[in-house]
Structure 1
Amino acid sequence: MLTVRAGVPARAGLNAFAGKIAMTNRLLSVTNLSVSFGNREVIHDLGFEVQEGDCVAIIGPNGAGKTVLLKALLRLIPYRGEIRWSAGARLGYVPQKIAADRQLPLSAKDLLAAKARFLNLPATELQEVSSELSLTTELLSTGIGALSGGQLLHSLQNDRGMTILLVSHDLSIVYRNANMVLCLSKGKTCMGPPKEILTPAMLQELYASPPQYYQHVHERWREGDSGIAQEREKR
């Protein structure tokens, strides 16, 4: 996931990539972006724009180039084409996985404190970072196994006004939190609002198979007066 500090209507089908719209708060402009590894072209002639405050979810099957796109946007790998960030944009990268067993009875605060001690960071710096990211007491006391990606996205966007580019296979998170969806699939692309992109027909074309739906049961624990309280949430 990319966080950035400082739309586009989809057309029918994956081959019909949405055109650009001129807006005054454009944060990112990508034009004719291509990325190759040897003779294999992973991303071909991609173009899109991101506006300030957007939450853009990047979806697609494995090997479609989602992570490659993020690395290109960070200029970590060679690419062809043009990537333009607005002046003064501050970029941050959040990895998909945390380096801890999510089954451990640790709160987010415990994990951050342990990481700070490992890096020899003073406690005051940890407090400053928590304040900068608007990490509430409730969020910090939540168990690491229960931390919701949606909670983090909501906090970063609403409290800090950040723009987010998110790679996710969880379409429920995409639907609830993203205002734009960018699809990548074997050189085909599309972009648009979730209600237009996350349809059975579009998903079948994107993943080359009929979509399957599952009911997820999430268990959450958080610190409370009576010890650990568990919450079950069905989606």
Structure 2
Amino acid sequence: MANPLLSVTNLKIAFGSRVIIQDLSFEVQRGDCLAVIGPNGSGKTVLLKALLNLVPYEGKIRWSNAARLGYVPQKIAADRQLPLRLRDLLEAKATVVKLPAAELDQVSSEVGLTEELLDTSIGHLSGGQFQKALIAFALLGQPNVLLFDEPTASLDELTEERIYELLHSLQRDKSMTLILVSHDLTVVYRYANMVLCLSKGKPCMGPPKEILTPEMLEDLYSAPPKYYRHIEHH
């Protein structure tokens, strides 16, 4: 097998005496869509932050030299009450990372941000529009790895479907690697080729059909999991 894009070995994350993740090892290959699942408090968001070197940890996290990372958080530290247009937000990042205006236009087109949306105050964007804005923000700088923390949290089912279709098309068209936290097992089955299960017991990883058995899910969530079927596309 080719050298992995990401290699994690004996990872431990603790805050004081509280151990969040312990003895976690896994690899991610180029082009994977890895879904990270687990009950609340299992360390999913903390894991993403460790992969981005945003929290202290023990063990080894090794990214390939070819990896360029983009991150879409659940929330962004921008006050949505500010009189700030979406265009202003994206141009601010483009300026910081010294990108040409053409790249901002290209990313906006790929994500489906119209000129009207770009000129809209961020406080007036819908949940789905704001999520697209966060994806566009992460795409500036041409990353080849995107990390998502619950990319469709609080969105309605149809908007959620459209966001995941967007992510899937980005992965397909740009040969990107995706690492995403999701509670929606239908999404995991449909889009992920690998699943990492975090739990109080021993973590497990593998293809969805092998890992997500009824017995494992009941053990993972301490109850039969609830999930709905997404819209089928023909």
TM range (shorter): 0.5 to 0.7
The AA in structure 1 aligned to 2:113 is: L
1:211 corresponding residue in structure 2: 225
1:201 corresponding residue in structure 2: 215
Pairing 1:155–2:169 present: yes
2:194 corresponding residue in structure 1: 180
Gaps of 5+ in 1: 1-22, 102-110, 217-232
1:135 corresponding residue in structure 2: 110
Q: Secondary structure at the match of 1:188?
A: coil
Question: How does the TM-score come out when normalised to structure 1?
Answer: 0.67
| Deviation at residue 30 of structure 1 after TM alignment | 0.6
Query: Deviation string for 1:104-146 (max 9, x for gaps)?
Result: xxxxxxx7436347x4979x9565135258706xx33596273
C-alpha distance in 1 between matches for 2:221 and 2:202: 11
CA distance 1:95–1:120, shift in 2 (3 Å): closer
Query: Deviation string for 1:142-168 (max 9, x for gaps)?
Result: 962736231232122111111111001
C-alpha distance in 1 between matches for 2:94 and 2:228: 42
Q: Secondary structure at the match of 2:46?
A: helix
Divergent runs of 4+, >6 A: 98-101
C-alpha distance in 2 between matches for 1:215 and 1:157: 22
CA distance 1:97–1:200, shift in 2 (3 Å): farther
Q: Which has the higher helix share?
A: 2
Alignment of 1:6-25 (within 5 A): 23-25=1-3
Moved more, 180-189 or 207-216: 207-216
* Contact 1:27 1:86 (8 Å CA) reproduced: yes
C-alpha distance in 2 between matches for 1:26 and 1:120: 29
| Deviation at residue 181 of structure 1 after TM alignment | 0.3
CA-atom RMSD in angstroms = 3.1
Pairing 1:32–2:6 present: no
| Deviation at residue 189 of structure 1 after TM alignment | 0.5
The AA in structure 2 aligned to 1:87 is: N
1:8 corresponding residue in structure 2: none
The one of 34, 47, 61 equivalent to 2:25 is: 47
Q: Secondary structure at the match of 1:52?
A: coil
The one of 203, 206, 215 equivalent to 1:189 is: 203
The AA in structure 1 aligned to 2:110 is: L
| Deviation at residue 24 of structure 1 after TM alignment | 1.0
Question: How does the TM-score come out when normalised to structure 2?
Answer: 0.67
C-alpha distance in 2 between matches for 1:41 and 1:116: 37
The AA in structure 2 aligned to 1:128 is: E
Identity %: 60
1:107 corresponding residue in structure 2: none
C-alpha distance in 1 between matches for 2:109 and 2:173: 6
Q: Secondary structure at the match of 1:135?
A: helix
The AA in structure 2 aligned to 1:64 is: S
Name the larger-Rg structure.
1
CA distance 1:77–1:209, shift in 2 (3 Å): same
Count, aligned residues? 184
Q: Which has the higher strand share?
A: 1
